[in-house]
Amino acid sequence: MSLKKITSLYIDGFKNMGRLGKKLWLIILIKLFIMFAILKLFFFKDFLSTKFSSEEEKSNYVIEVITTNKNPEK
């Protein structure tokens, strides 16, 4: 399959998509927006990366947590 054919497969596919297909794509886009632009950005930050910049700091923190059973930040 040539690149032109592959491109036209996608273009024609999206152009001729029925109501159901459009509705499903809308749901996918809204869902991805909620997941990445809202949930990931505001609610699901990587816990260790927000507190430490280096791998060594992260490992020291985890070792301290698991060996003392305490939150070192408190």
* CA distance to 59, 60, 72, 73, 74, per residue, from 67 (Å): 12, 10, 11, 14, 15
Q: Taking CB under 8 A as the rule, does residue 21 contact another protein?
A: yes
Q: Does 4 sit near another protein (CB under 8 A)?
A: no
Cβ neighbors of 48 (< 8 A, separation 6 or more) are 58, 61, 62
CB nearer to another protein: pick between 3 and 43: 43
Residues forming the site for another protein (CB under 8 A): 1, 5, 8-10, 12-14, 20-21, 23-25, 27-28, 31-32, 34-35, 39-40, 43-49, 55, 58-60, 62-63, 65-71, 73
